[in-house]
Amino acid sequence: MDWDPGFVERSPMFGPLATYGARLRSERDWPQRSVLQHLLRERGVSTAAGVPLRLVADLGPEPYETRIRERGEMHFRERDWHDLFNALVWLAYPRAKSALNDAQSAASRMQSSAGTRSSSQRGPQRDALTLFDENGAIVVSSDPALLEDVRCFRWKRLFWTRRSEMQSAMRVFAFGHALLHKALAPYIGMTAHAMLLPVTADFVLREPNEQREALDRIVAAALCRITNPRSLAPLPVLGVPGWWPDNEHAAFYENVAYFRTGRGKHLFLK
């Protein structure tokens, strides 16, 4: 897809990126690496090792996560939505991304010391952290029953029967940069791996930037509870009110190939 300076207006899924996406509106062509680097420096984004995050063109010999943590060097391809969204998520959630990278790096070191080096054998924790990094969403609610609907795959009840309660007591935030990339051209079947978090009633009434800043701290602290892929809840994101035009009709939620019933008990964060 070509460069679109107004991409943040394409979907509410880009809401968390609005502040920094708006800074790119004046770019008539793809923003260069230096433009994103300036925003990262201005925001003071750094890794868990205290090193300022820098966008670099080469991959480097070190493991990807370790290179980011220890040297602050993150591979960034220009004219690439996937890498652009990754940089924007670092801007939107610097504490959470730093903590996530720290956890990924630690999991990678543990695997190396155990003699498991293959990227296809990440281990359950590292696999879960990668899923959240790439395809994660954050679901918060002041009503525990709504979070239980997600855990139990009660999609029509959540998104339609309890639509008004959901809209007043729950918020959903796209986090993974691959998920955000998909949001440029959404499709039926698009599903996130969600972290479920209880919040107080006043949280959902806060201004969006205040919510994002608070979530940045909350998610950073909660990442230690992601131990395997079943710690994350499957979430058919096009069911979220306002995220897909067809979900204004009850029949949309009858598509059981998309809104699947759960199998077994998932752990999910509480």
In a domain, 227, yes or no: yes
In a domain, 249, yes or no: yes
- Average pLDDT per consecutive 10 residues, the chain (270 residues; last block may be shorter): 96 96 96 98 98 95 94 97 98 98 90 58 88 98 98 97 97 98 98 98 95 97 94 97 97 97 57
In a domain, 114, yes or no: no
CA atoms within 13 A on the CB side of 125: 17
Give residue 270's pLDDT. Answer: 47
Give residue 263's pLDDT. Answer: 58
In a domain, 60, yes or no: no
What's the structural domain count of the chain?
1
Instruction: Spell 100-127 as b/e; 16+ CB within 10 A means b.
Output: bbbbbbbbbeebeeeeeeeeeebeebbe
Give residue 109's pLDDT. Answer: 81
Is 240 within 8 Å of 204 (Cβ atoms)? no
Whole-model pTM: value is: 0.93
In a domain, 168, yes or no: yes
In a domain, 197, yes or no: yes
Give residue 110's pLDDT. Answer: 79
Cα separation, 165 vs 243, in Å, equals: 17
**Structural domain range at position 151:** 130-254
In a domain, 177, yes or no: yes
Cα separation, 6 vs 188, in Å, equals: 24
In a domain, 161, yes or no: yes
In the numeric block, which tokens belong to residue 263?
Answer: 């199998």
